[in-house]
Structure 1
C-alpha cells in the first residue's frame, strides 16, 4: 500500500531531517530515549481566507475547498514513521458529546476508502454524516453546524516526516441564521485548544482581500504565544487583492507591520479557473505570478509553495534539533551503562591463570572500597559525590557502611537505656522518653513499657526475703536479693543486643553485595557470594552469637561486682535524694530490727541494684559495639576477599568462582557493537546540534553574560556557559551511573 501523500512533497518537507530521523530510529533500537515529540502545524484564520487551500497546497492532500464549502470540524492528518505503510481513520468525540451511544457511534467510525490524497473530500463528507452535520440541516443543529469532534487520518510509512497537519473551522466575527453563537464559541475554543500546545506551529492565514485589523486570529495567537515565536503568517489570494491594499500587504510580508519570528509568506490559491490544474501546473503558474509586478520585489524565500515547504522543513529540523539535548543525555546514560557492564564482564578468561588474575584485580578494588567504608573515608566513585547525597535510590545510604553502623549503634544505646530494664520503677509520673518520638528507633518497635511502683517492689522484696532465709544476722541486707533483682531487671539485654548484632550483620552483608554488584556482573557476584563470602559471613555470625553469650554469661550467674567509683557515686546520689523521706522516729525506735527487710532495707536493696544496673549497662553496650561488632565482624571484613584469599584457592575453586558463563563472549561482542554505535550516534547528533543552519540561534545566544554563579568570575558567551553546564551534568551522570 503506497502513501496517500505525494512523495515529492514529503522529500521537500523532510529536507535534512530525513538523515537525522533515520539515525534517531536506529538509536531507538538500542533503547535510547523516547521518540521525538512530533510537531503539528495548525492552520487558523477567518472563514474563506483560504486555510484549507493552504493545507492542500502544502501536503497535496485534497482538503475540501470551494466557495460554498465550510469546514465544520477539526481534521488531523497525522504523519508518522513506521517500518510498514498503514492508514487508520477514526473520529475522536469532543467533550461536548455527553450521550454514550453517540460517543460509541463515533468511536466505531472507520473506512478503507482513503488510499490517496484525492479521497479526503469523500472521507470528510462521510465523517460529517456520522457526526450529524449535513449541510442542509446545518441551521437546525444545536451548534449551528459545528462540532468539537475530530476526524483523524493517521498515515504511517518508513519515509514520512514526524508531523501533524490540522485543518480547523474558520473563525467568523458575526452570527447569522446559519452560524449562531454556539458555533462561534466552538470554533474559537477549538482554535485556542490547538494553539495552547507548545509543539504547535500556528499558520495564521490572512486573505489579501481582507483588512488585517478585522481578523482576530493574531490576537488569539498572541494570548498563547506572546512573542510570536511559533506563529508563521500566510497571505493568500494576492492575485485578487482589494483596491489599494497591495502596498500594505507587501509591507506585511516583509515583516514590517506585525513582526513574527518565523516571518511571513505569500501563496496563490487555486481559483475557479485553475481548480482542475495539476499540482505541477498550479506551482508553475504561481511562480510566474510572483515573478511579475511588485511581487517580484519580495525575497524568493517568502513567496510560493516550494519555498514554504523548505521553510517548514527547516522548522521541522530545528524542532528535532531542540529535542537532541534529551536524546544525547539518554544516549550518554546508555553508553556509560554499557561501558560499566563491559568493565564488569572483564576481559576474556578461559584459562585458570586468566581467571585468577581477574579475581586478584577484583579483590584489590574490593579491599580499597571496604577499607574506605569502614573508616568513613568515602572517596571512591562507588560512594557517590556530595551533590548526590539526597538519597535518590534506596541502596545509596547503605554504601556508606560506617555511617550506617554508627546510626545503628546510637539506636541500640538509646533503646538499651529505655527498654533494657524489664520493669520501669515508677518513682514519679514523669519519664524521660516519649513512645511516639521513639517509634523511629528500630529497636523500640511494638514495645510497651512495664511499670512497677516502689511500694509494690517493697512488698515483692519482702516476699522474696521470706522465701530465701539464710544464715545472715536479722535485719542485714540480703546481697542475694540485689543480684536476683538485677538479673531479673536485665533480662531484655540479650534480645535487644541480638537484634542489633543481626541488624549490623545484615547491613554488612548488603554492603558486600553492593560492592560486588558495582565491580562484577551478576553471575560472578552470585558465585563469589556462594563460594567465598557467604560462608565467611555465616562463620562471623556464629562468632558474634558466641561473643554475645560470653558478654552476658557473668551477668546471668555471678553476684554483683561493681568496680571503680561510679557505683559509689550512684549510691551517694540515691541516698541524698531520699534523705528527707527517712522517718527519724522510726529509726530511733527500731532497737531490734525485724526479721525481713522493712521499707528502709528494701530501699537499700533497690538502690544497690539500680546503681549496679546503671553502671553495668554502659559497659555492656560498649562491649557489644567494640568486642562483638568491631572485633568479630568489622575488623575481619577487609580480609574476607583479599589477594591472599585468591592465592590460597586451588584451581578448582578459582574455576568455580571466576569461570565465564557460555553467553559472556556474545554479550561482550554485543556491548562492544552497541558502544561503537552509540559513540557514532552521539557524534552525529552533536554535529546536528551545533549546526547553525539546522539550529537557528535565538538572539540571546552569543551575548556576553556573567557566570559568576558558576564560580568562574569571568565573562563568557551564553553558548559556552551552556556547554559548561552540559559537561558538568554529564560528569555528574557518569558518577551516578558508574555506581
Structure 2
C-alpha cells in the first residue's frame, strides 16, 4: 500500500537512507520479496499491547477502529513520497492459495478510489471480503498487503467464542515465521498497562535470536502505572536495559488513549512530548522516547541492517537465479510440435550417451560426476554416478562370495580347522549364509554307499566318473543363486544410474515418461537376456560331465593327492616325532602304496575338488564378461541414443516428450521469477560494498611480517 505521509516524517528518511530503503521496497514491488527474504521491520506483541497505535504514530496512517478487523491480517506498510493523495492496495496470495482462479482473483484486487489514510478501515474491509474472510474467521495464511513495516496479529493465550484455539496457533505460527528470518528486525511491543512477565513476545524472539541482536523493545502506555509505583520503576529499569538486555535497546511511546483517539496526529505528538518532560520519565535519554526519535532510530537501524545483510542477500538472489536456470535447462524449450519434441530428445540423448560412455569407461570428466569434494561427501547418490567403480566393486564382492560359499558343503579333514568366517560375511551376497561342514571320512562313506548301489564295469579301486560329476553338481549347487543375485544387483545399479542421469538432464515429468515408455521396457529385455545367459552358463554344470581342459586340472589333482598322502603319513608316523622331517615324508610319499579302497572314494573327492577349483574361476569370469559386459553394459549406450530418437514414430514421441500444462505453467513461473530476480540483482549490484581490504592470505601475512622485520 502506498500513501502520502507527513513532510516531517519524510525529512527523516532522506538522502542515502531513503534511496537504499526505496531500492529494497522496489524489490518487494517487483515480487522479489516472495522469492528471497528481504530486510524488514515487524511489529509484534500481545493483543491490546499498542502495536497498531505505535504503527499509526510512525506512519500517520489510521488503522481500523475495530481491533477484530485489524488482527485479521499481517499488514505491511511502506512510507513513500507521492505527489498525489491516494491509497493503493494489492493482495499477494500466500503459499496456501493453490487454486489458480482464486490466486488470479486476489491478484486482480485493487482500489484506486481512496484519497487518504482515513479511508483505510473500509478499504481493509473490502480486501477482507475479497479474501473470503468474515469477522469470526481465523487467519488462513500469512499473505497480506505489500508494505514495509509489518503489523502482525496480536498474540493471545486464552480462547473464547470469538477467538478459538486454531486461530491462536495460527497467529503464533505466523509471528514465528517472521521472527525466524535473520533479516527481520523485531519490534517487540510491551504494554506498561500489564505485568511484563505475562507478555511473551520477547521470549518468543529469543528463540530465534538468542543474543537479542535484532530485537528493539517498544514500551507503550507508560502513563498507566501510577507515578512512583513499583510498576513504573520496573518499566523504567527495563527501558534502561537493566532487566532484559537488548543490543538494539528499548524505546518508549505514549500513544493515544481511548478518550483521545480522535485527536490529530500533531496534538498526539504534543501530548507525548509533554508527558516525557515531567516526572521520572524526564530522566530517560531523549533518543529513547517519543515517536520522532523512534522514526529516526528505525531508519538508522534498518539502514545498518540492510547494509550488513546486503552481501548475503545478493548471494541468495544469485543462488535462486542459478536454481531457476538449472530447472529451466532441465525443462528445455517449449515443445508443442513434433519437430520441437524430437529436437529436444535428440539433444538430451546425446548428453545421455556422453555421460554413460564416460561412466562405463571410468573417465569421470563431465560435471555430472562431481569433483573430489562431492564424491567424498556422505551421500547415497554420488557413488552410483561412477558406474564402472560400482560394477567393479560388485564383481569383487561376487568373486569373494563364490570363493567362500560357492561350495554347498565344506570338506574337512581331521587336521583342517573349521573355517574362520571373516567380517566380510556382511558383504553383498553373504547375508543369511552359514557354512555347512562335512568331514572327509563322512563324505567317503557317502561315496562308497552310492558307488556300491550304482556299480558299473569299472575295475575295483577305480573311480566311477559318474560319481565325480554327481558330487561336483552337488557342490556347485549355490552358484546359480549367487550369480543371479549379482546380476540383479548390477542391473539395479544401472537402472538407478540411468534415473540419476535423467534427473540431472531433464525435469521429473519427462524423466518419468521416458523411463515408462522407452527405457524401462528396454532394461527389462536386457534383464531377460542376462538371466538367459546365466542359464546358459550354468546349464552344462548342472547336467553335463566334467570336461577339464588344460594342465591346471592335473596340477590340482597331483597337489590334492600329495597333500592327502602326506597327511596320512604324518598321522601314521606321528608329527610328535622330532626326528621325522618334511623331507623324510616327501621321500616316503613316493613309495606309499595306496590303502585298499574298493570304490576309489579318495580319488573321486580329489578329482571333484580339482575340477571344482579350476571351473569356479572360469564361471566367475564368464558371469562378469559374457553376461554383464556383453549382454548388459556394452549395449547400454544404445538404450537411449540419437538413433533411438530418430527411429521413434510421432505417437511414441508425443508420449515421451509432450509437455503437460503443469510443466508449461511451471516454465512460465520460473521465467517470471527469473526476470524478477535478475532485475533485483541488477538493482542491488550498485550498492555492493566497495571497501578495499588486504588479501586474506597467511602466506602474504608472513611475507609482510618478514618485510617489516627487515625494515626495522
Q: Give the TM-score normalised by the residue count of structure 2.
A: 0.63
CA deviation after TM superposition for structure 1 residue 671, in Å: 3.1
For 1:69-88, list aligned pairs within 5 A.
80-81=74-75, 83=91
- Residue 419 of structure 2 aligns with which residue? 431
Alpha-carbon distance change, 322 to 430 in structure 1, aligned in 2, over 3 angstroms: farther
- Cα deviation digits, residues 484-535 of structure 1 (max 9, x gap): 2111100111111112112212221222222223223344434433444334
Between the aligned partners of 2:629 and 2:172, the Cα distance in structure 1 is: 71
- Whether the 8 Å CA contact 1:42–1:201 is kept in 2: the answer is no
Match for residue 565 of structure 1?
Answer: 552
Q: C-alpha offsets along residues 423-477 of structure 1, whole Å, 9 cap, x if unaligned?
A: 122444432424xx34532312233332222232121111122122122221123
Deviation at 1:378, TM superposition (A): 1.9
Per the alignment, residue 480 of structure 2 pairs with 494
Q: 1:346 to 1:702 in 2, by over 3 A?
A: closer
Q: Distance in 1 between matches of 2:295 and 2:324?
A: 41
1:345 to 1:706, Cα distance in 2 relative to 1, 3 A: closer
Deviation at 1:666, TM superposition (A): 4.7
Distance 1:608 1:550, change over 3 A: same
* Residues 656-707 of structure 1 deviation map (CA, whole Å, 9 limit, x = unaligned): 54445566555543432232123223444x359x477xxxxxxxx9584652
Following superposition of structure 1 onto structure 2, how do residues 561-710 of structure 1 map, counting pairs within 5 Å?
561-565=548-552, 568-569=555-556, 571-572=558-559, 575-576=562-563, 579-582=566-569, 594=596, 596-597=598-599, 601-649=600-648, 653-661=652-660, 665-684=664-683, 686-687=684-685, 690=687, 704=693, 707-708=696-697
Match of 2:364 in 1: 378
Pick which of 463-472 and 349-358 moved more: 349-358
- Tell me by how many angstroms 1:355 deviates: 3.7
CA contact (8 A) 1:416 1:493 kept: yes
Seen in structure 2, the aligned counterparts of structure 1 residues 60 and 269 have a Cα distance that, compared at 3 Å, is: closer
Q: Is 2:6 the partner of 1:20?
A: no
Whole-Å separation in 1 of the counterparts to 2:375 and 2:334: 36
- The answer as to 2:423 corresponding to 1:458 is no
Pick aligned residue for 1:468 from 449, 454, 461: 454
Q: Distance in 2 between matches of 1:458 and 1:509?
A: 48
Q: How many residues matched?
A: 566
Q: 1:471 to 1:357 in 2, by over 3 A?
A: same
- Match of 1:379, SS state, is coil
Q: Are the equivalent residues in 1 in contact too, given 2:53–2:255 (CA < 8 A)?
A: no
The answer as to whether partners of 1:426 and 1:452 remain within 8 angstroms in 2 is yes
Conserved? CA contact 2:44–2:51, under 8 Å: no
Q: Is the 8 A contact 2:534 2:627 kept in 1?
A: yes
| Residues 439/57 of structure 1: CA separation in 2 closer, same or farther (3 Å cut) | same
What are structure 1's unaligned runs of at least 5 residues? 44-51, 62-76, 91-104, 113-151, 172-182, 235-266, 292-297, 693-700, 717-739
How is 1:99-110 mapped onto 2 (pairs within 5 angstroms)? 107-109=158-160
Residues in 1 aligned to 2:205 and 2:653: alpha-carbon distance in whole angstroms: 67
With 512-521 and 316-325 compared, the bigger mean Cα shift is at 316-325
Any conservation in 2 of the 1:9–1:60 contact (CA below 8 Å)?
Answer: no
Tell me the secondary structure at the aligned position of residue 473 of structure 2. Answer: helix
Q: Which of 522, 529, 538 matches 1:543?
A: 529
What does 1:156-171 correspond to in 2, within 5 Å?
A: 163-167=186-190
SS of equivalent residue, structure 1 residue 470: coil
Distance in 1 between residues matched to 2:433 and 2:404, nearest whole Å: 10
Q: CA deviation at 1:633?
A: 0.9
After superposition, the Cα gap between the structure-2 partners of 1:573 and 1:655, relative to the gap in structure 1 and judged at 3 Å, is same
Does structure 1 conserve the Cα–Cα contact (< 8 Å) formed by 2:348 and 2:505?
yes
Residue correspondence of structure 1 range 230-379 to structure 2 within 5 A: 230-231=248-249, 279-281=265-267, 283-284=269-270, 305-316=291-302, 318-319=304-305, 331-379=317-365
CA distance in 1, matches of 2:172, 2:628: 70
Using structure 1 for the length normalisation, give the TM-score. 0.61
Aligned counterparts of 1:25 and 1:574: Cα–Cα separation in 2: 91
Contact 1:383 1:400 in 2 (8 A): yes
The residue number in structure 1 matching 2:215 is 200
Contact 2:190-2:219 at 8 Å conserved across structures: no
RMSD (CA atoms): 5.6
Give CA-to-partner distance per residue, 1:558-593, whole Å, 9 cap, x none: 2141533375157426633661433669x9999997
Residue 543 of structure 1 and its aligned partner are, at CA, apart by 2.3
Partner of 2:402: 416
Tell me if the contact between 2:317 and 2:677 (Cα under 8 Å) persists in the aligned partners: yes
Residue number in structure 2 paired with 1:478: 464
How far apart are the structure 2 equivalents of 1:88 and 1:528? 51
Structure 2 Cα separation of the partners of residues 169 and 313 of structure 1: 25
Label 1:506 to 1:214 Cα distance change in 2 as closer, same or farther (>3 A).
Answer: closer
Rounded to whole Å, the distance in 2 between the matches of 1:519 and 1:380 is 12
Query: In the aligned structure 1, how far is the partner of 2:425 from the partner of 2:617?
Result: 22
